[in-house]
Amino acid sequence: MNYLLFTELAMTAAAAVSFVYGAVKYLRPHKPLYASMIVLGVGCIMIGRAHTLLRMISGLDTLNLFHVGMLGTVGAFAFFFSANFGQIDSIVDGGEKELLKYRIIALSGLVIPAVLYVTELMSPDKRAEKIANGFVAVAVAASSYFHVKHLLIPDIDYGIVRCQRGYNALALIYGILCMIEINTKAYGMIVPDIIVSVLECAVTLMIVPMVHRGVLKWSR
Amino acid sequence: MEQMSEILFICMSLPMILILFVLPDKKSRLFLGYLIIGTLICLIAGALNIFLLGLFDNDVNYVTTAITPISEELLKAIPVLYFALVFSDDRETLLSISFSLGIGFAILENAVILVQNISSVSIIWALARAIGTALMHGACTAFSGIGISYVHKRRKLFFCGTFALLIAAVITHATFNVLVQSHFRVAAFILPSLLYIPFIIREFIKRRKKAPAHKK
């Protein structure tokens, strides 16, 4: 049986476990919207992976063409971006001049996804897949900016962002892993692809418990 | 038979339009109105799908599992967004009208598929499509409705949240379409129920909690 089927199955299962745990904890009234959005992001990873898995089982193509499963990563990072940008960022960054250096350093978060996308553009992938992967790269890069920013910014007044540094580090790593996965698939590198998939499973499993730990810290 | 979708649309929506002016209650008119808009959106989506099929060399399998879920979910979100921008961004109302719109879409879609496959349909087919497709379209449009409800309240959340929820709706829709065409057809009709049942239980609990307050 195809190794891709196993890796996709493992990633769907990891995301499902993480999502169910998060749904029980946070998809209820009077729970922090920030955490709920991250749980929905993990839910997006789950349905995206499940869709890809289902395409494989049904005998439909998943390589060298655009398919909706790819949008799972875009949706996940749109939720992560939305949680950081729409919910938390204005609390720690009111546009003060002293924080300018953190905003500039955070731009480094865009570099890795951009470089990895350029390497994918040079691969023998078809144009449709390169365009679709471009959407993934944009979503990962936009989200990574806030992950790096919230890892570094001094959160003296509220301490909310400081509590979520573990989550931001994991989300940043997950984004980079997704971009590496795109490359390993594009160049047909089987062993690196399996390694990246295992790491993605581990990170996906850890994201929601890490957010939960952060929520407990700030509500203590 | 070329204009079958249009004929079905007229047969179904015209009587509903006529009753629209008779209904005394504003809310009922709103929900019925969005049901009719749902059938109209289905008609437009049908025309767009034919165009998209031509673009992708008439590969029905690929287009229905990768392209039309995107176009259909985008089309269904437009009237909900219009309502939120112009009339009200109340979440309960938006969820109800999005669900009505999705159901309206499914009604015409089912009728068109019924006419196209008239020789092979059965009661089981009707039950499966009526429940599965209607719930799937209703739930997917409601996903977008949740994000759109932030349009005036929190702009930052509205833009990225709606985009993210729209993607979730597209993937759910596409997964349903893949399941329908696969050997796991039964799962295609269980999936929307899995989305619908928790929602109904939540609503039921909410109404029960509200009920004693009204009695007082």
pLDDT tens track for B86-104: 998 888 899 999 999 999 9
Distance from C-alpha of B172 to C-alpha of B194, rounded to nearest angstrom: 12
Share of chain A above pLDDT 70, in %: 98
Q: What tokens were used for B22?
A: 């008779």
Domain boundaries defined on chain B: 4-215
Question: How many domains does chain A divide into?
Answer: 1
Residue B80 pLDDT: 94
- Is pLDDT of B175 > 90? yes
A68 or A96, which is more confident: A68
pLDDT at B205: 83
From chain B, the residues in CB contact with A67 under 8 A are: 65-66, 174
The amino acid occupying position B92 is: E
The tokens describing A128, both together, are 């449709």
The mean pLDDT value for A197-220 works out to 91
**Chain B residues inside the 8 Å CB shell of A50:** 175
Q: Measured between CB atoms, does A30 come within 8 Å of chain B? A: no
Percentage of chain B surpassing pLDDT 70? 96
Q: For A41, which residue in chain B has the nearest alpha carbon? A: B164
Cβ contact B181–A50 (<8 Å)? no
Residue A96, C-beta contacts closer than 8 angstroms, at least 6 positions apart: none
Q: A48: which chain B residues are within 8 Å (Cβ-Cβ)?
A: 171
Q: What is the spatial distance between Cα B114 and Cα B27, in angstroms, rounded to a whole number? A: 31
Nearest CA in chain A to B70: A68
Q: How far is CA A162 from the centre of its chain?
A: 19
Instruction: Kindly determine whether residue A54 and residue B70, on different chains, have CB atoms separated by under 8 Å.
Output: no
Tally Cβ neighbours within 10 Å of residue B124.
Answer: 8
Average pLDDT of chain A, as a whole number = 90
pLDDT at residue A97 is higher than 70: yes
If phi over 0 gives left and psi between -120 and 50 gives alpha, with beta otherwise, what is residue A30?
Answer: left
Q: Is the pLDDT of residue B36 over 50?
A: yes
Band of pLDDT at residue A80, cut at 50, 70 and 90: very high
User: What pLDDT does B160 receive?
Assistant: 81
- Are residues B185 and B179 in contact, defined by beta-carbon separation less than 8 angstroms? yes
A168 and A151 Cβ atoms separated by less than 8 Å? yes
pLDDT value of residue A128: 84
CA distance linking residue A26 with residue A38, whole number of Å = 10
Helix ranges (DSSP H) in chain A: 3-26, 33-57, 71-82, 89-92, 100-106, 108-121, 127-152, 160-163, 165-186, 190-219
Tens digits of residue pLDDT in B51-75: 999 998 888 889 999 999 999 999 9
pLDDT in tens, B205-216: 877 877 765 554
**Contacting residues of A for B160, CB less than 8 Å apart:** 78-79, 81-82, 85-86
Confirm if B53 and B117 have CB atoms less than 8 A apart: no
Answer for the pair A46, A34: CB distance below 8 angstroms, yes or no.
no
Instruction: Report pLDDT for A1.
Output: 54
pLDDT tens column, B122-167: 888 888 888 889 999 999 998 888 888 887 777 777 888 888 899 9
- Structure confidence at residue A15 (pLDDT): 96
Residues A91-105 have a mean pLDDT of 85
Q: Which residue of B62, B71, B175 to mutate against A (max A Cβ within 10 Å)?
A: B175
Q: Indicate the burial class of A171 (C-beta count within 10 angstroms; 0-12, 13-18, 19 or more).
A: buried
The chain-wide mean pLDDT, for chain B, equals: 88
For the cut 90, the answer to whether the pLDDT of residue A74 exceeds it is yes
With beta carbons under 8 A apart, name residues in chain B contacting A136. none
Query: Which residues from B are below 8 Å from A55, CB to CB?
Result: 65, 178
A218 close to B (CB below 8 A): no
Distance from CA of B168 to the nearest CA of A (A): 6
Identify the domain containing residue A78 by its residue range: 3-219
Q: Do B183 and A58 touch (CB under 8 A)?
A: yes
pLDDT band at B77 (very low <50, low <70, confident <90, very high): very high
Tell me what percent of the residues of chain B surpass a pLDDT of 90.
50
pLDDT of residue A86: 83
